Structure 1
Amino acid sequence: MTATMLPPEEYTARVLSGLAPLAPVHLPLAEAHGLVLAEDVRAVVPVPPWTNSAMDGYAVRAADVAAVPVTLPVAGDVPAGAAPDPLAPGTAQRIMTGAMLPEGADAVVRVEDTDQLSGARPLPDAVTIRADVVPGANVRRAGEDVGVDDMVLRAGTVLKATALSAAASVGRSTVLAVPRPRVAVVVTGAELTEAGESLTVGKIPDSNSALLAGLITEHGAQLAGVAHSIDTPADLAAALTAAATDADLIVTSGGVSVGAFDPFTALASGWGDQATAGIELTVAKVAMQPGKPQGYGTVRDGDGRHVPVIGLPGNPVSVLVSFTTIVAPALARLSGRDAPGGQTAPVPDAVAPAATARAAVGWSSPRGRRQHVPVRVVAPPQPLPDGVDAEAGRSAVWVAPSH
């Protein structure tokens, strides 16, 4: 490997070394989906919160139906959500699934085990019970699933829909979670125009704004805004300073190479009154293709925060590769998704995980650089390469470069 180029893992580690999870905040459950829990959640209320019926049927005293069939007068209805009257000895109350068990009742007889039909019908005067029950039959006791102060969710849990539902069920309306990182995008390039505009000489459509905005959202972060900078250090410095105000991370595209008009590189080399501007940037060469030129650093905002900056190349394919290999781990770090052992917690509804495939054709790769190649799925080559048996060839996914 060329001495002047950093291995991708080493470069990414340098970028991540200056990052830490954002300070957790208390959020309503409705705003916490997809975030990482920052504290253990314990039950405030038991589950179920009260003893209730597990069936549609009739609440009874088990002793009153020990010898069946037996007919009992029906003293009233107990719909879900109602506070029932106590159950008098020798009577029954019609009860719905989930309704609170009346005081004095200790069992529920299923409607199927009576002479009554199920469904919306008038309250009967009496019910004939055809099957005996034991105390506790078809009854869910208060707290039998979760008791008060029981552990429900551990810190570090990704708050998917099921986790939020569990928190709500034990009486929590808010959780302490790592907030969604706010990411500002600064796209450099005097040659860029808004997508769809007529192109004049030397101009090209700006596709990086849409690409980065979409990738940021897909990786669970919040887009703080998109700004554009022409190819001057002064303009980029102003754009970075403005973007830092409402951002936890700034991602730039373009201007990190060795050209005469690369503004990120100019700022990194000490252009202007950099200390006063509060901009500290570094450029590097990374042993990967595409994405060799890279940059990172910080911008100080008006409150004295040092907002991290990650500078990507300008080519859209380089942006995609660089985002996946460098920015995505940075977002994981900021959002608290880093797990022990270097693993990363998944982002709900994020991009699909990597898959293994076989190369259907050969292609060249630059020496000393990790190559990232867009591919398309193709039919298995015929004949199969030496060493690949027919069964393995049929079951494998085969790919070829898409360009």
Structure 2
Amino acid sequence: MSQARRLVLGSSLSIGGSHTSVWRHPRYWSDASINIDYFVSAARKAEEGKLDFIFVGDSLYVNDHTAPHLINRLEPLTLLSVVAGATSRIGLVGTLSTTYHEPFHVARLFGSLDHISRGRAAWNVVTTALPGTAENFGRDSHLEHDQRYRVATEFLDVVKGLWDSWEEGAFLRDKSSGVYFDASKLHTLNYKGEHFSVRGPLSMERTPQGRPIIVQAGSSDAGKDFAARHAEIVFTHQPSIEEAKRFYHDIKERAAKLGRNPNELLVLPGISTIVADSAAQAQQKQDEIDALIDIDEALKELERYLDPAAIARIDLDEQLAPHLDGLLTDGYQAETERIAQLVHKENLTLRGLALRMSTRAGHNPFVGTAEHVADAIQQWFEAEAVDGFIVSSGPIVPEGLHHFVDQVVPILQGRGLYHTDYRAETLRGQLGLPVPPNRYAQATT
């Protein structure tokens, strides 16, 4: 890889992370997920640290077993439109599902956010894992995993086509001649495919970035293939530097085989950092958070990956390995594969797995002094295991983000690893990603 690689840092403002009961901590903003003041203040803090972007997740299905940090949350595009007006440079990544939206609607939403923010929008493309979502949208069943990705591929092709409806310079707004736009630069999509039929054009001129940046978070084979073809940022979870390096080189190689420049696909694992004056104090903080876990809440969180009815038939202290075939769901495929490996490797019971998943128990290399956390970030980046990280605003919201910005970022800047000011007006420019050419302008040159 070239020496011109840039360390990228974003912050996930989604609440709770994997710690299902951390909201009980006395310093945690327990209403943060629905409190716009949290998102605005956190985004401004991230911008103060010159972080490249903030990230907001979403889900379209909840029930009385849903984890507290997921059951009560704001819709991402509405939220980010408010944050756009309260910030000026930081990128804005929002989540929307290709399984339960329409392409024209999504093209308008993210096109609007890109205009509102003057070129800072990015779309986290998800296919939706939770099968119960189907009933919220008048459907009898949820699409199978790989089928969701086939739909997503067509969906994204349509959205990109709509974003190209107008060439650069199409809107003249010439008051003297009375010519508002150049009709030769208007293109109607007229798309008819297997899953979608969309006429177009989009009722919006080309956005400041050409089009919003595409983010993708799946780590299954289908997800990695989708990312290699379409994504410009890949959001992943990797528990060790060795696993991160394998994932990193795998997805870069897939992109290269498709004719893409692998440097234009940024791999960014999500991490949770805990910063303290000493390693012992940092571990004490971690233990304090983990002690808040409630087994009932932990089991609810596990229902994202394991069938609830099957869980109910298993004793808490029963070995899980013999039951795995009937337990794992079709939703978060990469995560369920990792769960199966954990169960076999560590001989976990249901109780053990629930607590393991709720606390992410085990060695977290990003817990320690500010120097230690900066060292770990530098090590992973220089080892070509990552292009950067998406750092949680917690686990204690919002102090985790404040500690990271105030203590870790200055060390990275002092080492010359991270920028001290924004480099461009748009998120594409900031990340060194090219503006995609308009397909119609390309065809005539």
Same fold by TM-score greater than 0.5: no
Which entry has the higher C-alpha Rg, 1 or 2? 1
TM-score by length of 2: 0.24
Structure 1 or 2: more helix by fraction: 2
More strand by share: 1
TM-score by length of 1: 0.26
Q: Which has the higher contact order (CA 8 A, sep 6+)?
A: 2
